[in-house]
Structure 1
């Protein structure tokens, strides 16, 4: 039986439309208050740390001794998920997966649960691996992926990992997971099946087939 690992933002729903603009504003507000920056400086620092460390939090912990719990609570208020719409087709697809599904996110479980509830799919997931579980390292740090594998007590090859981030997928692939890149762009990730949405997985696709017994995606 395969294990399905899903990134949350921009994988299960369109975070660029429904969450990220507000989250960036919350991050900027925190940086301006905590570090005394203006709007421009806060935006530049957020992007710099995200590119260099994978998360803004990693840079803040390394260079500014920021409390990770305080930061994560500040940027994930309940209102953040308020505009996420229900997705009945996603729910229907998840109900027929041939194995348990988990969320693997660089946010926090409370926010993930609110998003899943808004989507109408919260009961379709067996668990959430968040930044607290990851000891605030987050993706694409390979130690976090290994911690998840130990928690699930499964080998990497049994996991099918869905994410929109190329860096996150590279780590998963390097560890031996099967990978699915969720993207509308024509920039394929080496070794990953590229789909516009998770719900396309398992359907007949031109150039691909899949074997339900092993959940292995096969290119022609």
Structure 2
């Protein structure tokens, strides 16, 4: 194991664009369906709807949180609609399955999506037996990453010591609260964030999670 990671006993992974490559563009389909949902809700065109969802994302962390705050929508209805996407874009990743299996200790998924969707993604990737639990948006009480309370709730729910936990995420801003409570952080730099990335709360950077995890055992 990499010497800087020998203390880690809990490995926490974001889901979308982290456990599968951003190039699969599955999340792009979800974003499009969010726009469709906002169009239907607000009775507006897609351009206006997209602006609304981006405002909610910036102000609340997710479009869902913004719509719940301002329009009192049913989160279950929203999540069922936006996650109704075809998984054919994803392929099994045996190397990632093996790399995660070798990690010592516990493994969890921490996602702003919901568990039914996350389960479908993990099954498609071959990772359905790789994780102890999925801590989803329902479990956070609809306070998404990067709200600090979401991270505190994760740790309390699963008895996690942040000092011995590592969090992998493709959105750099979602690593800041993890670092603030003592977690080791890994940023998946998929090219979506070109400006405004604060390296102070990032311990490791990679463009390829599978290669990074595999190399942990080779860099001795």
> Given the two structures, how large is their TM-score scaled by the length of structure 2?
0.87
The residue that corresponds to 1:195 in the other structure is 206
8 Å CA contact 1:195, 1:201 repeated in 2: no
Residue 14 (str. 1) matches residue 26 (str. 2): no
8 Å CA contact 2:99, 2:214 repeated in 1: no
Tell which deviates more after alignment, 37-46 or 178-187: 178-187
Task: Give the alignment of 1:94-173 within 5 angstroms.
Answer: 94-173=100-179
Task: Give the alignment of 1:199-210 within 5 angstroms.
Answer: 199=210, 200-201=212-213, 203=215
Q: Quick one: structure 1 residues 75 and 16, their matched pair in 2 at CA, closer, same or farther if it must change by over 3 Å?
A: farther
> Given the two structures, how large is their TM-score scaled by the length of structure 1?
0.87
The residue that corresponds to 2:183 in the other structure is 177
27, 39, 51: which one pairs with 2:34?
Answer: 27
Q: Quick one: structure 1 residues 21 and 137, their matched pair in 2 at CA, closer, same or farther if it must change by over 3 Å?
A: same
- Point out where structure 2 has 5 or more consecutive residues left out of the alignment: 1-7
The residue that corresponds to 1:59 in the other structure is 66
8 Å CA contact 2:53, 2:63 repeated in 1: yes
Q: Alpha-carbon deviation of 1:64? A: 1.2
8 Å CA contact 1:18, 1:84 repeated in 2: no
CA distance in 2, matches of 1:98, 1:163: 19
- Point out where structure 1 has 5 or more consecutive residues left out of the alignment: 211-220
RCO comparison, higher one (Cα < 8 Å, 6+): 2
Q: Alpha-carbon deviation of 1:197? A: 2.4
Q: Alpha-carbon deviation of 1:16? A: 5.2
CA distance in 2, matches of 1:80, 1:158: 36
Counterpart secondary structure, 1:47: helix
CA distance in 2, matches of 1:29, 1:86: 29
CA distance in 1, matches of 2:10, 2:74: 33
The aligned length equals: 207
The C-alpha deviation readout for 1:127-159, integer Å capped at 9, x for no partner, is 100011111111011111111111121321111
